[in-house]
Each structure stands twice: as C-alpha cells, then as structure tokens.
Amino acid sequence: MKQCQQLAITQFGEPSVLAMQTAEVPQPAVNQVLVKVAYAGVNPIDAKTRAGLGWAAQQNKDNLPWVPGYDIAGEVAALGAGVHSLSVGDTVSGFVGFPLQGGGYSEYVVADANALSLVTEAVPLIEAAALPLAGQTAWQALEKVQVSAGERVLILAGAGGVGHIAIQLAVAKGAEVMATCSSANMAFITSLGGTAIDYCQAPLAEQVDRVDVLIDLMGGDVGIAALDCVKSGGRVVTLPTITADVVCEHARLLGLQAEGMLVSPSVEQNNAMMVMLEAGTLQLHIAARYPLSEGALAHQKIETGRTRGKVVLSVASSE
Ligand SMILES: NC(=O)c1ccc[n+]([C@@H]2O[C@H](COP(=O)([O-])OP(=O)(O)OC[C@H]3O[C@@H](n4cnc5c(N)ncnc54)[C@H](OP(=O)(O)O)[C@@H]3O)[C@@H](O)[C@H]2O)c1
C-alpha cells in the first residue's frame, strides 16, 4: 500500500505534541475522491482541540493520535465509484471532515465529491485552502443576524481569519461596517472597506455610535463589553462557542436578540466565495505559511490571537 505523511495530535497539550506520522493512503469510497493535498488551512479550533479543549477534543480523546485540519486544497488523485462530477487532475478545495473526522493535515485525504469546489487557475491554491471554514463562518454569521443594506454592523476582531472575510461580505451587502483591531491593523481594515476602531484607544462604546448588528468574534468579556454598542432590539451573533451562553445571557438582559452558532459546511457558499475570489471582489490575506512538518509553529502563531488573515500549511512541499 502507498503511504503518506500526516501531522497528528499525539496527546493533548502544547504545540510540541504535534508529530509527523506515516499512514496508508486512504481509498476513496463510493461518491468520494482522494485528494492530494497541496495546502491545509489552520483555524483556532485546531489549536483548541490540540490543547484538549472543546467538543472535538472530547469526542476524540480516546482516538489519539488524531489528525486535525478541516480546510484543504489540492488535486484529485483518484475517484471512488459513482463520481462523475470530478476528474483526476482537477484542483479542488473544501471544508472536510467537520467536526469529528478532521484529517486535513495530511498529504492525502478522502472527501465526498459533492463537498468539494473546483478551483480555477485564477484562484491561488493557497487561498482556496484558506477560505472554506473561515469564509463559511463569516457567511453564516451574516445570515444568522440577517445583515441588510444600510445597516450599521460592528465586527469584533475584524483583522482575523473570519473577521477580514466578514467585513468584505457585509460591505458587499451594502452595510456600513465598523471593525475592531489594534493600531497595527487599522490600514488593513480600511483596505477591506470597513471603518477601523482601535480597541486600545478607549472603550468601544465611547468610539462607536449604536449599531444594528454585532458580530462578536472575540466572546468573553470583550464580547460582553461590546454589547453596549448595540441599539435596543439589535441583533448579536457570538462565535466563540465556549463563552456563547454567557454573552447571550448578558445580551438578552440588555434587550438584544443574541445567538451563538456553529458553522456548517456548505459547498454552495464555498463556490460563491470562490467566484468572488476569482472576480477580485473578495481578498484573502495569508499571514503566514509553514511546511506541514512545522505545524507546531503554525499553532503557536494562531494561538497568539494576533494573526492578520489566515495561517496555512504547505503540505505538498513536505514530501
Ligand atoms: N462557532 C463557530 O462555528 C466558529 C467558527 C470559526 C471560528 N470560530 C471562533 O471565532 C473566533 C475568531 O476566529 P478567527 O479564525 O477569526 O480567529 P483569528 O484569526 O485567530 O483572530 C485573530 C484576530 O483577533 C484580533 N484580536 C485579538 N484581540 C482582539 C481584541 N481584543 N479586539 C479585537 N480584535 C482582537 C487580532 O487583531 P489585532 O492583532 O489587531 O488585535 C487578530 O487579527 C475564534 O474564537 C474561533 O474559534 C467559531
């Protein structure tokens, strides 16, 4: 059997628990394809799971070593029975194995053919790998609070993986978008069409006139403090799942409509954003790329909480 390299969580803990392992290249089942992965996106959930936090860690605690990674882009290497929509050699991207299977930090992965988007030559493969989870989260967060043209929207952590996409999608809907960031990211937020709010300057409520919608990508005390920026009856979606209940509780006490959410893979949304990338109406910022074997550095980077845009692993170059 052909073998491949993967980066696995060997036990829960610091980034150093990530280690390369050898596995058999999987066979695609009916309606699946085998993808030779070129790039794998890195998301905060990967690092939280590695640290033993959250439901993906709970569900996989007896299943270590476990290969994380939900975002992939690469080339179709083999077709399972019944696959007619893709051909060997097609370049594809997708949000795969979510939430319990993971598997993207690997030279080869199998995925349902209908979960993958075709990547055209106009879209850099690295961007196609960075897009899925963060892009679909941004898309679904805006849908959850039904952002519409002319509304005032405040996005916390606008410079991050989800935030920098959410700003652009909200602007495209015709919303007036404000986004919080540090001073180093003010120009970045402006370049995406948002108004940058430096969270170090003063409390947000002193800097922002009341908004219709809050998209909270920070949660906890930062998310709770930002509720003071929302007008009575306004809508809030809070993304960090660990603090969603407490943020929603505070929001309701203030007369706001608030919900948490869990992203759900949608190939239609991925396709739509791939078209935007191709047309240049969506920009994806890659903060850093690391070889698969140096995934621990990628986790250290994402755990700083200061990433601008996305962190990606170069998988093919590890061969
Ligand atoms: N529920 C779901 O389905 C779901 C899905 C995806 C993500 N999430 C969660 O959503 C959160 C955001 O994800 P992400 O991928 O966008 O994270 P990320 O890329 O790691 O976010 C990093 C950004 O956070 C900003 N930041 C740090 N402290 C800040 C503060 N006090 N105020 C404003 N911005 C601050 C940083 O900007 P500066 O350097 O300028 O401070 C940096 O650009 C994470 O907790 C993630 O786990 C949830």
pLDDT in tens, 196-207: 999 999 999 999
Q: How far is the CA of 222 from the centre of ligand 1 (A)?
A: 11
User: What is the per-residue pLDDT across 66-116, written as a single tens digit (0 to 9) for each?
Assistant: 999 999 999 999 999 999 999 999 999 999 999 999 999 999 999 999 999
User: What is the per-residue pLDDT across 118-150, written as a single tens digit (0 to 9) for each?
Assistant: 999 999 999 999 999 999 999 999 999 999 999
Average of pLDDT values for 227-253?
A: 97
Q: Find the radius of gyration of the CA atoms of the chain.
A: 19
Ligand 1 in reach of 156 Cβ (< 6 A) = yes
Ligand 1 atom 36, closest CA: 306
Ligand 1 in reach of 243 Cβ (< 6 A) = no
Q: What is the pLDDT of residue 247?
A: 98
The answer, yes or no, to whether residue 319 has pLDDT greater than 50, is no
Ligand 1 in reach of 43 Cβ (< 6 A) = yes
The answer, yes or no, to whether residue 317 has pLDDT greater than 60, is no
Q: Which two tokens stand for residue 304?
A: 């700083």
Ligand 1 in reach of 284 Cβ (< 6 A) = no
* pLDDT category of residue 171 using cuts at 50, 70 and 90: very high
Ligand 1 in reach of 181 Cβ (< 6 A) = yes
* pLDDT category of residue 15 using cuts at 50, 70 and 90: very high
Q: How far is the CA of 306 from the centre of ligand 1 (A)?
A: 8
**Nearest atom (ligand 1) to Cα of 180:** 33
Q: What is the pLDDT of residue 316?
A: 86
* pLDDT category of residue 176 using cuts at 50, 70 and 90: very high
Average of pLDDT values for 215-242?
A: 97
pLDDT over 70 percentage in the chain: 99
300-306 contacts at long range (C-beta below 8 A, 24 or more positions apart):
300/15, 301/42, 302/42, 302/43, 302/44, 302/46, 302/47, 303/15, 303/47, 306/182
Contact present, 217 and 162 (Cβ < 8 Å) = yes
Average pLDDT, the chain: 97
Please tell me whether the overall predicted TM-score, pTM, comes out greater than 0.85 for this model.
yes
Q: What is the pLDDT of residue 1?
A: 78
**Nearest atom (ligand 1) to Cα of 140:** 3
Q: What is the pLDDT of residue 318?
A: 41
Q: What is the pLDDT of residue 282?
A: 98
The span from the CA of 48 to the CA of 287, in Å, is 19
Q: How far is the CA of 254 from the centre of ligand 1 (A)?
A: 24
